[in-house]
Amino acid sequence: MDEVFKALADASRRSLLDRLHAKNGQSLNELCEGLEMTRQAVTKHLVILEEANLVTTIRHRREKLHYLNPVPIHQIGERWIRKFERGKLAALSELKRQLEKRDE
Amino acid sequence: MDEVFKALADASRRSLLDRLHAKNGQSLNELCEGLEMTRQAVTKHLVILEEANLVTTIRHRREKLHYLNPVPIHQIGERWIRKFERGKLAALSELKRQLEKRDE
DNA sequence: ATAATAGGCAACCAAATGGTTGCATGTCAA
DNA sequence: TTGACATGCAACCATTTGGTTGCCTATTAT
């Protein structure tokens, strides 16, 4: 679990997860597009995400495709949120979402 | 949100959250007990947790009492987990919990 | 009044981290 | 086969981070 938190600590890695959340199964070079980092930097980040089991990869031809794995993220909440609190928190964020939506 | 992830990245800080989850509203010195860190190190960690809004404090006499705030933790899951995935993941971890319980 | 308790501030240090450059390897297309 | 494309590996560097020590302030109890 330690690796998961370390992996999520960096903004670049979180934005890589965002990209995969938006479009799953991207190759390294695809994930590099539009970023101001070197490909090698992105590689390093992806390795860290893989080791944390937040990203799974499969090779297809010469490409390595990356997929987001939401399981470890889901487990985070289970550590510090009691069961009876979940409902209230969910209701709270739904309310927040509605209020923000109203201002669009 | 960046501060939340940074704050959660460190194992010492996570164990402080664990302690508050077990017993809410502890003072600095209470939180220091049994740890192999200096009080000043713990102070630094608590400041980081406060800035991330993961811990709220109130002063009572000369003591500063610390409380766990689960809201930012709850928000993490909302970022990368689609609504339709939540049910499955919750079922999965419940299953896992049951299986682990069986081995006790 | 004074000692003990609870906490705060600042300077300093070693280790970890995020990034770069340069080169190597494997695979596909013409 | 040969060049282009997709990825991998390693050395190196600046900055951040977690921790320490030393000293200071505020509040409580005797």
Q: Output phi, psi for A81, to 5 deg.
A: -115, 120
| Residues of A engaging B, defined by a Cβ cutoff of 8 Å | 2, 5-6, 8-11, 14, 17-18, 21, 68, 70-71, 73-81, 85-86, 89-90, 92-93
Is 90 exceeded by the pLDDT of residue B99? no
Residue B12, classed as helix, strand or coil, is: helix
B68 CA, C13 C1': separation in Å?
32
B28-84 per-position pLDDT tens digit = 999 999 999 999 999 999 999 999 999 999 998 899 999 999 999 999 988 998 888
Task: Quickly tell me which residue has 């800035």 as its tokens.
Answer: B51
For residues B83 and B69, give the distance between their C-alpha atoms in angstroms, rounded to a whole number: 23
Domain B2-69 of CATH type 1.10.3720.10: no
Residue B47 is inside which H or E element, if any? Answer: helix B39-51
Chain B residue at shortest CA distance from A21: B80
- CATH 1.10.10.10 in chain A, residue ranges: 2-69
Per DSSP, what are the bridge partners of residue B78? none
A64-92 per-position pLDDT tens digit = 999 999 999 999 988 998 878 888 888 88
B38 touches strand C (CB under 7 A): no
A35-68 per-position pLDDT tens digit = 999 999 999 999 999 999 999 999 988 899 999 9
